[in-house]
A and B are shown apart, each in its own frame.
Chain A
C-alpha cells in the first residue's frame, strides 16, 4: 500500500496534449475517482500510472518510491480493465495464479492464496471454469481477484463496471467499494459515470482536456462546482447567466434576465470579471400552485416567507413521470426553461401556472463560460 503522487504529468500524442501538467495526490488507502468525458485524459493518466505509457514530462511516485521510468511489471500494481482482459485460454484459477507465478511463489502458497482470494470475491467452486463460461459479473470479480491476489501497492480500475448491465452495475459499485475498504488499498478508479464516482470515491478529480478542474469530495463537487463544465457534467443543472452587482450576507447578488437573484459562490476577485453563471440543481427548486389568480408575489412555500428566497413565476411546459420523481420543464421567461425535479405526487400539469422558488444557499455560481480554464 502506498500513496500515489503525480507531479506535472504530461503526455502528448502528436500535437494533442492528452494529459496537461497534472498534479495529483492520492492518500494511502484512498479511493480516488478520475471522472470526465471520453477523451479528457483520464485513461491516459491511468495508463501512465500503470506504466503502459511513458509520460513526456513529470513524475509518478508510489509512496517515496519513484516509478516514472519503471516498466509495468516492476511497479507492483493491480489493474482491472474495462473488458476485464481475462486470459481466455486459462481457467479462473490459472488466471488468478498468473501474477503469483510471475513472482515465483511456491506452488503450495499459490494454491492457498488463489483459494483465499477467490473466496473473498465469492467465486469458490468456479476455479476450473474458463472466462467465457462466466457471467459478466463473475468475470468482473475474477478480474478483481487476479489484480488483488498479488497484494499490489496500488489498484488501478479502468471503467471496471462499464460492461455490466445497469442493475448489476449498481450492485457492483457497493461491492467494489466494500472490497476496497476491506483490503484498504490505494485505488484509482477511472469512470465517465458521475453517479458511479459519487457512490464509490472518497474524492473525485473531474477532468476535462487533460486538466483537473476540481478535486474534492463528492458532496463538494456536486454542490460547489468550480467551473461550469464540472457543474454541467456532474448531475443536472440549470444555468442562469448574470452579472454580480453586490455581495450581501455571504451571498452574491446577481442581476439576471429573470430579475435580481441571490446565490452562493466564491466572490470574484477585484480584477475578475463579474459575469457569472448561476447553477441551480433541479431538485433545489420548489413549485407551488398559482391557480385562481392568487395573491401575486405570495409564495406559500414550505419554508414560509423567507425574504432572501429567489422567486419567479412560470408555466409548466412539459412533465415526465420517472417513478421516484417528476421532471418538469418550467418556462420562467420567454425562452428560459428551468428543469425542476420534485415530488411525484405533485399535482401540476402541463399549462399550469406555478410559483417557482429556490433557496440562495442551495445554489452556486461559477465563472461565466468565457472564463473557461481550458
Chain B
C-alpha cells in the first residue's frame, strides 16, 4: 500500500525531471558515433550488395553474388567455425584463469589492490604487436621454451607451440585476460563479504558458500566479461597474424586478404557482414542462456 502510494507521488516529478533533461548534450557523442561508426558500417553493408569493380572498389551493379559465393564456400564456413571456436575457447580460458585473479583482487587490502591493479593493467601499456612478439620469443621452434625442452630431453624434436591454433590461443588469452578480470572484480567487489560469512555461520563450507552465494552473485560480471572477451577475440587480427603466421586463418584475416590482396572489396564486405551476423547470433544465444541462468538465481 505505502509503496504503491509512494510510487504514485514520485512518478509525476520524475516525468517533469526527464522532460527538463538537456538532451542536446549528447549531440557531440552522437555525431561521433554516427560519423565514425554507423556510416562506415552502413557503407560496408551497402558495398556487400554490389559487384566488385576493376578500377573502383565496386561497380554500381546490385547483386547477391558476394553472399552466395561466400556462403557456398565450405572453406569459408570452416574458417568462420574456427574463428568462433577460438573466440569461445579464449573466453573460456580467460574466465577460468581470470576468476581466481579477480577474486583475490576484490578481496585484497587497498594497498595490495593498487599494486595488483598496476600489474594487471601494465601489459595494456605495451601494444598488441610488441606483446605478440614477446610470445614469439617464448614459443618459437628455437624459442626459450623449446630450447629448454630440448635441453632437458623432454621432446627431442621440440614442441610445436606457434603457427598453430595453440599459439594463437595463448596470445588471445593473455591479451584479453585484463578485460575479463576487470569485469569480474567489479562484480565481486559489489558482493558484501558478510554474505559469505552468513553462509558459513549457517553451516556452509567455504566451497559451498562460494558456489551457492558468491558465484551466483558474480554472474553479471561473468556475463559482461565473457561478452567483452568474445567480441574482442573473434575480431582480433594482429594476434592470429603474428602467432598463427598465416597458417591459422580466421575470418578477419580472410577479410583483409580478400580486400587487400585479391582487391575484392564487396566480397570482403560480405564476409565481414557474415562474421558480424554469426557473432550476433552467438551473443543472442548467450544472452538467452545467461538470462535463464540468472532468472534461476535472482529474479
Contact = CB atoms under 8 A, between A and B. Distances in A.
Given A72-B197, A87-B195, A89-B217, A103 B203 contact: yes
**Among A76, A81, A86, A103, residue most surrounded by chain B Cβ atoms (within 10 Å):** A81
Contacts of B203: 73-74, 76, 99, 102-103, 150
Interface residues of B, number: 21
A77 B208 CA distance: 17
B298 A102 contact: no
A87 B196 CA distance: 9
A79 B197 CA distance: 9
From A71, A72, A76, A103, name the one whose CB has the most chain B CB atoms within 10 angstroms. A72
Contacts of A88: 195, 217, 298
Interface in B199-241: 199-206, 208, 212-213, 216-217
Contacts of B199: 87, 98, 102
A74 B205 CA distance: 9
B298 A72 contact: no
Contacts of A75: 201
A58 B45 CA distance: 74
A51 B196 CA distance: 13
Nearest to A149: B202
B96 interface: no
A87 B213 contact: yes
Contacts of A85: 192, 194-195, 197-198
Nearest to A130: B299
Contact of A72 (B192, B195, B201): B201
Nearest to A74: B203
Given A87-B213, A88-B217, A89-B217, A73 B298 contact: no
Contacts of B197: 50, 52, 72, 79, 81, 85
Contacts of A74: 203
A83 B194 contact: yes
B194 A99 contact: no
A78 interface: yes
A329 interface: no
B121 interface: no
Contact of A79 (B198, B213, B216, B299): B198
A146 interface: yes
Interface string A41-85: 000000000111000000000000000000111111111010101
A296 to B, nearest CB: 61
B137 interface: no
Contacts of A102: 199, 202-204, 208
Given A52-B197, A72-B197, A88-B298, A83 B192 contact: yes
Contacts of A156: 201
Interface in B124-154: none
Nearest to B297: A89
Nearest to B203: A102
B204 A87 contact: no
Contacts of B298: 88-89, 130
A183 B195 CA distance: 25
Given A85-B197, A89-B216, A89-B297, A98 B202 contact: yes
Interface centre among B195, B200, B208 (most CB of A within 10 A): B200
A189 to B, nearest CB: 16
Contacts of B195: 85, 87-88
Interface in A67-125: 71-79, 81, 83, 85-89, 98-99, 102-103
Nearest to B2: A135
Nearest to B194: A85
Contacts of B202: 73, 98-99, 102, 146-147, 150
Interface in A240-288: none
Contacts of B192: 83, 85
B200 A73 contact: yes
Nearest to B298: A89
A259 to B, nearest CB: 55
Nearest to B294: A89
Contacts of A146: 198, 202
A87 B198 contact: yes
A73 B198 CA distance: 10
A75 B208 CA distance: 16
Contacts of A79: 197-198, 201
Contacts of A72: 197, 200-201
Contacts of A83: 192, 194
Contacts of B216: 89
Given A83-B192, A146-B198, A147-B202, 18 more contacts: A71-B205, A72-B197, A73-B204, A74-B203, A75-B201, A81-B197, A85-B194, A85-B195, A85-B197, A87-B198, A87-B213, A88-B195, A89-B298, A99-B203, A102-B199, A102-B203, A102-B204, A103-B203
8 closest A-B pairs by beta carbon, nearest first, are A99-B202, A102-B203, A85-B194, A85-B198, A79-B201, A72-B200, A89-B298, A89-B297
27 contacts: A50-B197, A52-B197, A71-B200, A71-B206, A73-B200, A73-B201, A73-B203, A76-B203, A77-B201, A79-B197, A79-B201, A81-B194, A85-B195, A85-B197, A85-B198, A87-B195, A88-B217, A89-B216, A89-B217, A89-B297, A98-B199, A98-B202, A98-B204, A102-B203, A102-B204, A130-B299, A146-B198
